[in-house]
A and B are shown apart, each in its own frame.
Chain A
Amino acid sequence: MTSISKSKSMAARMIALAFVFPVLYLLVLSLADSWIFPQLLPEALTLKRWGTLVGGANNLWGSLLLSLIIAFTVATVSTICGFFTSKHLAYHPNRSLWMRLSYFPFVLSPVIYAAVLYYYFIRLGLSGSIMGVILGQLLIAYPYSVILFSGFWSKRMLHIEKLVQTLGGHRWQTYRRVLLPMAQGLLLVCFFQTFLISWFEYGLTTIIGVGKVQTLTLKVFQYINEASFYNAALSSSLLVLPPIILLYFNKRYLFQKRW
């Protein structure tokens, strides 16, 4: 029995290594001075690439900030709007129809969605602008947030709400004192999930943003495109490290079974 559990934990450790190895590989690649075939390890390590992060000509810092601003806005808006609308959708007689509709934009390939909507974005004067990219990403993140919150509204919740109102609670008070505190955990999860949707987005961003709105993912692609793999690793690290740090504090932010 113990030998089985031992081999099991051994296997688990191997799997764990396979999952963590890519992070280490990215970091080493971003620090490598020269690392070409058939070298197994880089000849030397250098900090100069990370050093250029601040004030460097590659403007990675600017992209990092831009990605942050966009993701923050997308997450805030979609979480708030999603929470608000999902309630009304859930209590609406046609709720199953709304529920079905909310899945469409979410599973639709973002690039294809962007391709068929590009015309309208130009018409609205939103193509090539940060606002356009934010709106475009909202079109994916917001339905997701609606889906995420759909499980929150139940008959029980409706009873509680009614009860508060019978006891004289105002609608706003219901939200502030009852609904929001109860949804607190889910709100946070939704915020981080939608943040990541935006943070990770590439296809839609490059189409709607006409390549002008250079978020971090666009930088990664540009470096891959010009075969600057060390720089691609550096910008990839910038993309990956924040969610991993977040993960360290709370796993729930990253994983939501009801997506």
Chain B
Amino acid sequence: MRIFEQKLFKNKVEATGLLLFLLLAVLPLLLGIIYALLYSLGITGLVSDGFTLKYWQQAFTDIELWYSMGYTFYIALATITLTIAGALLLTIYLKEPLQQGFAGFSIYVPLAFPAIVVAFLIFQLASQSGFFARIIYQLGWISSTAQFPELVNDTYGIGIIAAHTFMALPFFTLYFINLYDQENINQLAKVGQTLGASSAQQHRRIVVPILLRRAFPTLTLYTIFVMGSYEIPLIVGRQSPQMISVLVIRKLRKFNLSDIPEAYISALLFITLIIIGLTLIFKNRNFSYDLDQ
């Protein structure tokens, strides 16, 4: 232990710092993966009868799981695409007015909403008897609730995507506006202008690429974040397909006890996805300690 300590750490204080990190951030993750792996292989668990690969086989042939994975991807990508498009538009065209006065305040408001409240709100506003349906009804455009389009618990996850976008759009608008000022994008665009670029060209060739490149890590992180969301699909999602977190918890809490190993397999698949996602991010050189730059 002493030798180990001397090699890795300069002194006790540093050792404490690193140990704390290992204890709180690294160890739990490893333990979690190990437990899920053991359970999925039938090595632990109340209903296990020793090592078996049958749960993995069962999981890989379970269409529901793959369907759920695909759905999770779809929701995350749709959210992030809408968010990027919206945030870019707002940054490019409404940057100034969104930095002043009431608008400048209001854009921060969605950041004060937890996911569970956003889900509740979307349900209240957009269901077939919700606030929007009432407006349309009062306008006389529909005569019954069934005529209002399905926006929550719907096939395409519109409710889920709307809820996530409500949270992500202001965040990324602020983020882009910040980057815009920070990176002197304005000046670069002006340089472009003097070189004869039209306004559209400036946006397409200069502003958007710089913003997206700089924001890439955060965008990727947010995508993973959306994929792992739970409360929103739980409240405004439908029974099938379900996003991965909802699926894992449902499979964990089922009367059919042999589904529990599959829940852990689903969890492991998600963790693998994150590892892939993070590897992707870390390839980006902007993303490291200041000391390395």
List residues of chain A with CB under 8 Å of any chain B CB: 8-9, 11-13, 15-17, 19-20, 22-23, 25-26, 29, 36-40, 81, 84-85, 87-92, 95-96, 98-105, 107-113, 115-117, 119-120, 138-139, 142-143, 146, 150-151, 153-155, 158, 171, 199-203, 207, 217, 220-221, 224, 229, 232-233, 236, 239-240, 243-244, 246-248, 251, 254-255, 257, 259
Q: Contact between A88 and B18 (Cβ–Cβ < 8 Å)?
A: yes
Q: Which 6 residue pairs spanning A and B have beta carbons closest together?
A: A109-B228, A88-B17, A200-B114, A116-B32, A12-B97, A243-B112
Report B85 CB to chain A, min CB distance, Å. 14
Can you sample 30 A-B contacts with CB below 8 Å?
Answer: A9-B97, A12-B97, A12-B103, A15-B90, A26-B117, A38-B138, A40-B134, A85-B18, A88-B21, A89-B17, A90-B289, A92-B18, A100-B282, A103-B281, A104-B278, A107-B278, A108-B228, A108-B270, A109-B229, A112-B228, A113-B29, A116-B32, A120-B32, A146-B25, A150-B289, A203-B231, A229-B124, A240-B112, A240-B114, A255-B174
Nearest-Cβ distance from residue A171 to partner chain B, whole angstroms = 8
Given contacts A116-B36, A243-B112, contact A37 B228 (CB under 8 A): no
B181 to chain A, nearest CB (A): 11
Question: Which of B53-61, B153-161, B198-206, B245-253 forms part of the interface with chain A?
Answer: B245-253
Interface of A is mostly: helix
In the complex, the answer to whether B288 meets A142 with C-beta atoms within 8 Å is no
Would you call the interface of chain B mostly helix, strand, loop, or mixed?
A: helix
- Encoded as 1 (CB less than 8 Å from any A CB) or 0, chain B from 6 to 17 comes to 000000011001
Is the CB–CB distance between B131 and A251 below 8 Å?
no
Q: Check: B225 CB closer than 8 A to any chain A CB.
A: yes
CB-defined contacts of B120 to chain A, threshold 8 Å: 220, 224, 232-233, 236
Closest to B290 in A: A154
- Contact A22–B114 (Cβ < 8 Å): no
In whole angstroms, what is the CA distance A22 to B179 when docked? Answer: 28
Whether the Cβ atoms of B21 and A117 lie closer than 8 Å is: no
With a cutoff of 8 Å between Cβ atoms, the chain A residues found around residue B235 in the complex are: 224
B127 CB to closest chain A CB (Å) equals: 9
Structural contact, B105 and A112, CB atoms closer than 8 A: no
- Indicate if B20 sits at the interface (CB-CB under 8 A): yes
Residue among A111, A155, A248 with most chain B CB within 10 A:
A111
Of the candidates B28, B108, B166, the one having the most CB atoms from chain A within 10 angstroms of its own CB is: B28
B32–A111 touching, CB < 8 Å:
no
Residue numbers in A under 8 Å from B115 (CB-CB): 200, 202
